[in-house]
Amino acid sequence: MDSQHIAARARQHTERLRTMEQRAVAQATQPLATAIADAQSAALTRWVRETVGQRIPDRLAELVDWVRNLLRRAFHGQGVQAQAAAERAAFAAAHNAVQQASQLAATMSGQPTPPITPEPGPDAQAAADTIPTAVEEEHGHALALLTTAALTATGLAGLTAVFKRARRAVGRISRAVATAVGSAAAHGARLVTRALGGGTRLLWVAEPDACAACRASAGRHIRPGGMFPGGLSLDPRRTLFPTPIPGPPRHPHCRCVLIPWSATWPISGTPLPTLLRQQARTNRRP
Ligand SMILES: [Zn+2]
C-alpha cells in the first residue's frame, strides 16, 4: 500500500469528523437558539406595543420581570439537554473513529485489527460536563443586563443587548460539543492503537485547512499515553497553545485526527509521517 493512498484516506477521516461535528453542534444548539429567538421576538413585540414615540414604557419594572420569566423559560433544562446531546455525539464519534482507525490499520499492516469497544474517553466527558454550568453562567450574565436602570438608559438597544448576551450560551454549547466530538474521535484512535500494541504509534493528521499550530503537528507521532508538544506553529510571528496535549482537538472546532501507524508496516513511497508533514506545509485550501 502506498503512503499517498493512506494519506488520502486519513484526510477523509478529517472530512468525516467535520461533518459529524457540524451535525452534532446543530442538534445540540438548536433548542436553546430557537428558545432565545422566540423569547426575543416576544419581548420586542411587547416593548414596541408599550412604547409610545421614543419614550420608555411606563410600567418598565413589570416588563423587566416579564422578560426575566421569558428568559428563564427559554433556558429551562437547556444545559442538561445539550450535555446529553454532546454525550451522544461523542459516543458516535468514538464509534466512527474506532471503525476508521481499525480499517486503516488493517490496510497498512496487512493484518486484521482486534475488535475494540468504542469509548468517548475522559476528555470528551469533561467537555460535555462543562455545558450545564456554562449555559447557566451566560443566562446569569444576560439577566444581569436586564435592569430597569439599563433599559431606561439605553432603551431598545439595552433589550437587544440582553438577548445578544444570552446567545453566548449557544456559542459555549457549540464549542463544548465540538471539543467532545474531537476528543472522542482521538480517543477512539487511541484505543485501536493501544490494542494493536507492538510499538504502534499515534500519528497526527492535520485537516486540510488547519491552523498554523495544527499544521506544525502534522506527521508527528507519539506512543499511546504520550503527549504532542505545545508551542508549535508554522507562523513564526506567534506561538499559540503552549500546553502539550495527548492529541486533537488542539482548539475548539479543530478537526485534526489521529491514526495508528508503525514504521514496521509495509507501506511504500515517502514515509507517511514525512508525507503528512509535507502536505500540511503545501496543500492548503484557498
Ligand atoms: Zn487541528
Give residue limits of the domains in the chain. Answer: 3-282
Whether the predicted pLDDT of 103 surpasses 80: yes
Average the pLDDT over 49-68 and give the result.
83
What does pLDDT average to over the chain? Answer: 94
**How high is the pLDDT of residue 243?**
93
**How high is the pLDDT of residue 283?**
59
- What one-character-per-residue DSSP string does the chain give? -BHHHHHHHHHHHHHHHHHHHHHHHHHHHHHHHHHHHHHHHHHHHHHHHH--TTPPPTTHHHHHHHHHHHHHHHHTTHHHHHHHHHHHHHHHHHHHHHHHHHHHHHHHHSSPPPP------HHHHHHHHTHHHHHHHHHHHHHHH--HHHHHHHTHHHHHHHHHHHHHHHHHHHHHHHHHHHHHHHHHHHHHHHHH-TT-EEEEE--TT--HHHHHHTT-EE-TT--B-SS--S-TT-----S-BSSS-SSTT---EEEEE-TTS--BSS-HHHHHHHHHHH----
Residues with CB under 5 A from ligand 1 (ion): 210, 214, 250, 254, 256
Pick from 48-52, 186-190, 238-242 the range whose average pLDDT is largest: 186-190
Interval between CA 200 and ligand 1 midpoint (Å): 22
Whether the predicted pLDDT of 254 surpasses 70: yes
State the first-to-last Cα distance of the chain, in angstroms, to the nearest integer: 30
| Residue recorded with cell 467532545 | 180
**How high is the pLDDT of residue 241?**
87
Q: What percent of the chain has pLDDT over 70?
A: 96
**How high is the pLDDT of residue 1?**
84
Question: Which of the residue ranges 129-143, 158-172, 227-241 would you say has the lowest mean pLDDT?
Answer: 227-241
pLDDT class of 13 with cuts at 50, 70, 90: very high
Average the pLDDT over 196-202 and give the result.
94
Interval between CA 247 and ligand 1 midpoint (Å): 9
Contact by Cβ (8 Å): 217, 203: no
**How high is the pLDDT of residue 286?**
38
pLDDT class of 54 with cuts at 50, 70, 90: low
Average the pLDDT over 264-281 and give the result.
94
Interval between CA 183 and ligand 1 midpoint (Å): 11
**How high is the pLDDT of residue 237?**
81
pLDDT class of 57 with cuts at 50, 70, 90: low
Whether the predicted pLDDT of 138 surpasses 50: yes
pLDDT class of 51 with cuts at 50, 70, 90: confident
Interval between CA 67 and ligand 1 midpoint (Å): 41
CA distances, 102 to each of 10, 55, 112, 187, 197 (Å):
12, 66, 8, 13, 13
Query: Of 223, 218, 276, 281, nearest to 250 (Cα)?
Result: 218
* Residues composing the chain: 286
Interval between CA 133 and ligand 1 midpoint (Å): 26
Average the pLDDT over 62-85 and give the result.
97
Cα 237 to chain centroid distance, Å, stands at 26
> Which phi and psi (to 5°) does residue 269 adopt?
85, -165
Record the cell numbers describing residue 211, joined without a space.
491552523
Whether the predicted pLDDT of 64 surpasses 50: yes
Interval between CA 212 and ligand 1 midpoint (Å): 9
Question: Which of the residue ranges 72-86, 91-105, 210-224, 232-246 would you say has the lowest mean pLDDT?
Answer: 232-246
Interval between CA 208 and ligand 1 midpoint (Å): 9
